[in-house]
Amino acid sequence: MAGPAIDDIDLHILGELQQDGRMTNVELARKVGLTAPPCLRRVRALEESGAITSYHAVVNPAMLGYTITVFAMVSLKSQAESDLKAFEDHVATLPEVRECYMLNGEIDFILKVVAKDLQSFQQFLTSKLTPAPNVVSVKTSLTIRMSKNLPGVPLPL
């Protein structure tokens, strides 16, 4: 299924909003070379089409006491659709899991998990993740540092 027709102005709008989703419509219009009303119409059309899915603040985890980020590679006993869905439903209830991706290959899922410290991560791992139905193994990698974290997707501007 093809996406909505997105022209160069829409791409410019998307690029600016990826960098700063809080800018005013007037500021956005100035940056993309439009007046405010047509700029707002384009933003609304991008939202309605699903090209823009949400706006949110990026929170500094350490400022809130989350000093540990771990990637967990999860293998399941069964890859039947009902078992995959059951695991996804379980993960959806775990606030420590910030991202979850189903993978092709040896590992079934990779999870990005945040925790306040190693002890709380260990507690999460042993009480919530490894005992989940259908989980056969969990391999974890503790992050050392983040060297790149860009929002959105690369846009040809």
Does the model's pTM come out above 0.95? no
Cα-Cα-Cα-Cα dihedral sign, residues 65, 71, 73, 57? positive
- For 138, phi and psi rounded to 5 degrees? -135, 125
Angle between helix axes 25-32 and 8-19 (nearest 10 degrees) is 130
Q: What is the pLDDT of residues 130-147, one digit of tens each?
A: 999 999 999 999 999 999
- For 72, phi and psi rounded to 5 degrees? -115, 125
Rg (CA), the chain: 20
pLDDT score of 23 more than 60: yes
Q: Which two tokens stand for residue 44?
A: 């609304």
Eight-state DSSP code of residue 128 = I
Q: Is 44 exposed, middle or buried (0-12, 13-18, 19+ CB in 10 A)?
A: exposed
pLDDT score of 2 more than 60: no
